[in-house]
Amino acid sequence: MPFTILKKQELVPTVHQMDIAAPRVAEKAMPGQFVILRIDECGERIPLTIADFDAADGTVTLIFQEIGKTTRQLASLGAGDSIADLAGPLGCASTIEKFGTVVCVGGGVGIAPIFPIARGLMKAGNKVISIIGARSADILFWEERMKEASSELHVTTDDGTKGHHGFVTDIVQNVIESGEQVDRVIAIGPPVMMRAVAGVTKPFGIKTVVSLNPIMVDGTGMCGACRVLVGGVTKFACVDGPEFDAHEVDFTLLMSRLTMYLPEEKEALDYKVAEEPAV
């Protein structure tokens, strides 16, 4: 049974929001979980985080960045189109309880998955200090939503076109050093960013959680493509995670495993471009 796209919007250049009708997934979804989708018979299975969900409407919201063949093809679809498969909710839900003060860090498309977590943590009675960052102001999205889901919101851009000129880690450091009693940090974004956040919080001994994005196939613990090393132990991110203790994660391994198919990804993209009708 195909899954219908109800709404599609380009939030900022190359980043899209898609609302998909998937009532059974929406009913069970929790912050921190993801889906695996496949566009058509020839498609690859790719994981995307559930950025929002509405059990009453039966929809899940996905935010994705166009980076390769599948995300480019997904971006070419619009409301009324459908995709062949969508499985979820997968992975363990984020731990949402009353911790006290929690710093939520979202970098790039990582802003999308951090949103439901921040919202959940607020609801659970935490003080939520959110920090969202992007390379530049024109690719920063969901600022308003994040403001609503946080007690305090900081914005950073690498080029200084908005908010703090610099990295999210600068603000994490500032918040901690300002004397704020930070009970927990959760960071989602590119692996380099997550590693940097882990580096900042480690000396302070603040429990830090990151959501890992290794290459996946089934998403149910059946293949082991998603192996990550946490505290020296091999874990399957799709079932044991995707969230793990940042201070225990082997980021170097994660990053090298993410490059495993670079030549093939380029080939797939070239093949797709060659197939596209010339304009």
Partner 1 sequence: MKMKTESKPEKRPKMVKQSPSERRSNFEEVALGYNRYEAVAEANRCLNCKKPPCIEGCPVGVDIPRFIRQIAEEDFDSAVLTLKSTNSLPAICGRVCPQETQCEAVCVLGKGGKGDPIAIGGLERFVADYEMEEGVTIPDLRASTGRRVAVVGAGPAGLTAAAELAKMGHAVTVFESLHAAGGVLVYGIPEFRLPKSIVAAEVDFIRRLGVDMLMNSVIGKIGTVDELLREYDAVFLGTGAGLPSFLGIDGENLNGVYSANEFLTRVNLMKAYLFPEFDTPVKKGRRTIVVGGGNVAMDSARCALRLGAGEVTIVYRRGEDELPARAEEVLNAKEEGIIFRLLTNPIRILGDENNWVTCMECVNMELCEPDESGRCRPVPVPETEHIIPADVVVIAIGTSPNPLVSMTTPDLETAGYGTIVADETGATSKPGVFAGGDIVTGSATVISAMGAGKVAAKAIDEYVKGAVRL
Ligand X SMILES: Cc1cc2nc3c(=O)[nH]c(=O)nc-3n(C[C@H](O)[C@H](O)[C@H](O)COP(=O)(O)OP(=O)(O)OC[C@H]3O[C@@H](n4cnc5c(N)ncnc54)[C@H](O)[C@@H]3O)c2cc1C
**What is the binding site for ligand X (CB under 6 A)?**
34, 44, 46-49, 63-65, 67-71, 109, 112-113, 213-216, 242, 258, 262, 265
- CA–CA dist 65, 201 (Å, integer): 28
Q: Is 219 near ligand FES (CB under 6 A)?
A: yes
- Can the peptide bond before residue 89 be classed as cis, meaning omega within 30 degrees of 0? yes
Query: 159 to 218, contacts with partner 1 by CB under 8 A?
Result: 217-218
Scanning 22-30, 104-112, 190-198, 214-222 for contacts with ligand FES by CB under 6 A, the matching segment is 214-222
Q: Is 227 near partner 1 (CB under 8 A)?
A: yes
Nearer to ligand X, 73 or 101 (CB): 73
Q: Is 226 near ligand FES (CB under 6 A)?
A: yes
- CA–CA dist 106, 120 (Å, integer): 15
And the tokens for 279?
């304009």
Task: Encode 125-162 in three state secondary structure.
Answer: CCEEEEEEEECCHHHCCCHHHHHHCCCEEEEEECCCCC
Q: Is 223 near partner 1 (CB under 8 A)?
A: yes
- CA–CA dist 18, 60 (Å, integer): 8
Closest of 276, 227, 217, 190 to residue 85, by C-alpha:
217
Q: Return residues touching ligand FES (CB under 6 A).
A: 216-219, 221-226, 236, 238
Q: Return residues touching partner 1 (CB under 8 A).
A: 1, 24-25, 28, 38, 42-45, 69-70, 84-90, 217-218, 220-225, 227, 229, 234, 239, 253, 256-257, 259-261, 264-265, 267-268, 271
